[in-house]
């Protein structure tokens, strides 16, 4: 422990584990990784039934026998799907973490319209038969999605005479005469924007996002998403193993009375110099960590709470109605559909992904907290209603923290809490941004192809 490291990482949440894996395997850094918990994953951990009951129902010793064996469950606290052609898949391939994992495609991607889940069209053929679109909109959306799929910034023949560099997303929608309902699911369920502010931004970002979605759908044919068997818990463990292969040192369960993370040390200029665990101090010039390692300390002003996220884990023995009997799916409920300021998300997987006992399905509903009464179930009622009969339900609210420090002044690179989304696009962007801040240059993913995942 009394040694010098290039980087000390606090917490084994997925973001922290990705960064520790990148620091050691791609940047050649000497890494020390610490966690107060005795398990990997932090708030992105996967729990069996016994752990789930211990966390949410500690006074109930008996778990219903009809749920099956505890060890058959890997319930993610903050489940998120991976875009098949997205940056997280490329990071997995670059670090060779894929050798520790097995993935399965997600059966469908849906958006709620008029209270009912509807399959999101992502190909011209699907657009022509989509119940999301009126007859005239089907033809127009087909033209739009064909244009997006063929668009090549370097080939003017694919531009249809449009000067995309001078156009906003709204301008492109207007050109193809898309109606508000079409624009709504395109922005929120295909391009995965969190709000409608993108409409006034340059159109190229919207086009790139739509292309990513379409290319990801083309990879496996059902939806743009994939999900690891046995849950997301394998991801932080996989990155940790990769870090250890390259010399990373790990210390878990640092919360016991004789061996706990006591203090982060700084010099007179405010730059981090080390982390104290018990009576020993490991020296470093850079610290990466999740916000919980600063909350409640003398350095609490380095993070700020900017909101709360409500979540509900629901266990049931059927597929979600109106999802074509899908064994797994993402459902996005746009804010306009449920009189909210922000979208509501549902992430459902099942025994087919080895995360539950045979025939059981697990859906996690999530949303930003907008109510004042702290009622998570009420916050998520519109999503829970979509699921049908639920056998077991666990609800909770988590504080959402973001970094408030300047890492160029203190060399503390703090991640944000996990947001309500059920995909990794915001998460992977944050990881890549932090990597570039630490290393001074972006991570090279140009040589990595998501098609390698098929091999």
pLDDT at 252 over 80: no
pLDDT computed for residue 449 by the predictor:
66
Pick the residue with more confidence: 46 or 394? 394
Beta-carbon count within 10 A of 351 CB: 18
φ/ψ bin of 419: left (φ > 0), alpha (ψ from -120 to 50), beta (otherwise): beta
> Of 354, 347, 377, 322, whose CA–CA distance to 116 is shortest?
322
Q: What is the DSSP letter of 298?
A: T
pLDDT computed for residue 256 by the predictor:
57
CA of residue 265 relative to chain centroid, distance = 31
Q: Give the Å distances, CA to CA, from 308 to 58, 295, 311, 376, 378.
A: 23, 15, 10, 10, 14
pLDDT computed for residue 191 by the predictor:
94
The mean-pLDDT minimum among 22-36, 249-263, 346-360, 412-426 falls in 249-263
pLDDT at 340 over 90: yes
pLDDT in tens, 281-314: 999 999 999 999 999 888 899 999 999 999 999 9
Q: Give the Å distances, CA to CA, from 272 to 73, 302, 327, 403.
A: 40, 12, 47, 16
pLDDT at 177 over 90: yes
Count of positions (residues) in the chain: 455
pLDDT computed for residue 258 by the predictor:
56
The mean-pLDDT minimum among 31-35, 197-201, 252-256, 299-303 falls in 252-256
pLDDT at 240 over 90: no
Pick the residue with more confidence: 128 or 168? 168
Residue 223 sits at φ, ψ, to 5 deg, of: -150, 175
- pTM of this structure: 0.91
pLDDT at 402 over 90: yes
When pLDDT is averaged across residues 387-414 and rounded to a whole number, the result is 96
Q: Give the Å distances, CA to CA, from 342 to 217, 276, 313, 336, 356.
A: 25, 41, 20, 8, 30
When pLDDT is averaged across residues 382-405 and rounded to a whole number, the result is 96
When pLDDT is averaged across residues 148-156 and rounded to a whole number, the result is 92
CA Rg, the chain, in Å? 23
pLDDT at 248 over 80: yes
pLDDT in tens, 74-100: 999 888 999 999 999 999 999 889 888
- State the DSSP H helix or E strand holding residue 316, giving kind and residue range, or none if neither: strand 303-316
The mean-pLDDT minimum among 11-15, 128-132, 144-148 falls in 128-132
The mean-pLDDT minimum among 317-321, 380-384, 410-414, 446-450 falls in 446-450
pLDDT computed for residue 452 by the predictor:
60
* Sequence-separated (6 or more) residues with CB below 8 Å from residue 65: none
When pLDDT is averaged across residues 326-350 and rounded to a whole number, the result is 94
Please state, rounded to an integer, the average pLDDT across all residues of the chain: 90
pLDDT at 261 over 70: no
User: What gap in Å lies between CA 351 and CA 349, rounded to an integer?
Assistant: 7
Residue 45, strand partner residues: none
CB 115 within 8 A of CB 109: no
pLDDT computed for residue 259 by the predictor:
55
CB 164 within 8 A of CB 203: yes
Pick the residue with more confidence: 256 or 277? 277
Sign of CA dihedral 21, 22, 28, 34: negative
> Of 41, 438, 413, 417, whose CA–CA distance to 264 is shortest?
413
pLDDT at 455 over 60: no
When pLDDT is averaged across residues 334-345 and rounded to a whole number, the result is 93
Beta-carbon count within 10 A of 247 CB: 12
pLDDT at 327 over 60: yes
pLDDT at 357 over 70: yes
Pick the residue with more confidence: 437 or 124? 437
When pLDDT is averaged across residues 338-343 and rounded to a whole number, the result is 93
Q: What domains are there in the chain, each with its CATH number?
A: 4-57+233-305+403-454 (3.50.50.60), 65-107+307-400 (3.30.519.10), 119-220 (1.10.405.10)
pLDDT computed for residue 241 by the predictor:
87
């Amino acid at each position: 422990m009394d040694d010098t490291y290039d980087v000390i990482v606090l917490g084994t949440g997925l973001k922290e584990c990705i960064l520790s894996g990148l620091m050691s395997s791609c940047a050649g850094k000497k890494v020390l990784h610490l966690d107060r918990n005795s398990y990997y994953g932090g708030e992105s951990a996967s729990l069996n039934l016994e752990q789930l009951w211990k966390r949410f129902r500690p006074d109930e010793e008996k778990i219903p026998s009809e749920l099956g064996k505890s060890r058959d469950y890997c319930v993610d606290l903050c489940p998120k799907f991976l875009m098949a052609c997205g940056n997280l898949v490329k990071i997995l391939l670059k670090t060779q973490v894929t050798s520790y994992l097995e993935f399965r495609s997600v059966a469908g991607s849906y958006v709620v319209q008029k209270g009912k889940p509807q399959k999101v069209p992502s190909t011209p053929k699907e657009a022509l038969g989509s119940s999301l679109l009126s007859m005239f909109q089907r033809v127009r959306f087909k033209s739009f999605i064909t244009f997006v799929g063929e668009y090549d910034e370097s080939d003017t023949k694919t531009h249809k005479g449009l000067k995309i560099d001078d156009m906003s997303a709204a301008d492109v929608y207007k050109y193809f005469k898309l109606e508000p309902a079409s624009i709504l699911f395109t922005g929120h369920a295909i391009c995965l924007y969190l709000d409608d502010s993108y409409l006034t931004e340059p159109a190229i970002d919207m086009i790139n996002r739509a292309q990513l979605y379409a290319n990801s759908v083309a990879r496996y044919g059902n939806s743009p998403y994939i999900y690891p068997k046995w849950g997301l818990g394998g991801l932080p463990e996989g990155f940790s193993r990769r870090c250890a292969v390259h010399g990373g040192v790990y210390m878990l369960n640092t919360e016991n009375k004789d061996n706990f993370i006591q203090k982060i040390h700084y010099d007179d200029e405010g730059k981090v110099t080390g982390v104290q665990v018990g009576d020993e101090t490991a020296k470093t010039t850079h610290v990466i960590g999740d916000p919980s390692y600063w909350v409640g300390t003398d350095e609490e002003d380095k993070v700020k709470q900017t909101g709360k996220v409500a979540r509900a884990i629901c266990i049931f023995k059927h597929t979600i109605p109106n999802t074509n009997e899908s064994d797994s799916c993402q459902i996005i409920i746009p804010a306009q559909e449920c009189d909210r300021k922000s979208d509501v998300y549902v992430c459902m997987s099942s025994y087919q992904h080895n995360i539950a006992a045979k025939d059981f399905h697990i859906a996690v509903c999530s949303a930003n907290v907008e109510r004042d009464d702290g009622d998570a179930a009420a916050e998520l009622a519109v999503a829970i209603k979509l699921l049908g009969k639920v056998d077991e339900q666990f609800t909770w609210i988590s504080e959402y923290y973001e970094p408030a420090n300047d890492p160029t002044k203190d060399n503390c690179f703090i991640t944000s809490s996990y947001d309500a989304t059920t995909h990794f696009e915001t998460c992977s962007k944050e990881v890549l941004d932090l990597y570039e801040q630490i290393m001074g240059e972006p991570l090279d993913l140009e040589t990595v192809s998501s098609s390698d995942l098929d091999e």
